[in-house]
Structure 1
């Protein structure tokens, strides 16, 4: 008998993109080749000033629901990983729970893992 499962996933990236060349203009003393060799990162997506973690999470969830024909009412638990929550309290997952129309009995919890998240 299966008690828990992680099903399909979806992602949402902010529209704004910053390349290492653009970053070098702001930080000319930084060695961009070293940054790339250590991280493998050539560009990064940057959220708008008026965009917060829950906005990005909600957009990803809506894609998930649409792409996989998932009823939000069928979700039992929402786990949200972020280093930049909307507020210290309530958790961003709880804010998303309401915005996504999940059941009030659905669990919702943030967890923080830094770069590994």
Structure 2
């Protein structure tokens, strides 16, 4: 496994944990902690982890077995998960502190097109 892959997997893991924590804090602040929602969130996080495991297996398998293609899979999968988790964390932070929703800090993470709508 290359250093880039290790870093990508570490970032994915950290963001998954951070998203779960910020979601839990947001739910606690809104007095909306639900074991059903928590379990559903864990299932979604588990699916992301399994996606990364599958990407890692396929990327290494294509080096040994002719799967008919050789593509980098881990990094694109990690980028997707990282973007998804970052968006979710930012939404949670906006729910935890409503002043952050329209702050210049969170606007750094918005696209220009998204900013035009507001």
**TM bracket, shorter-chain basis:** under 0.3
TM-score by length of 1: 0.28
| Higher helix proportion | 2
| Higher strand proportion | 1
Higher relative contact order (CA 8 A, sep 6+): 2
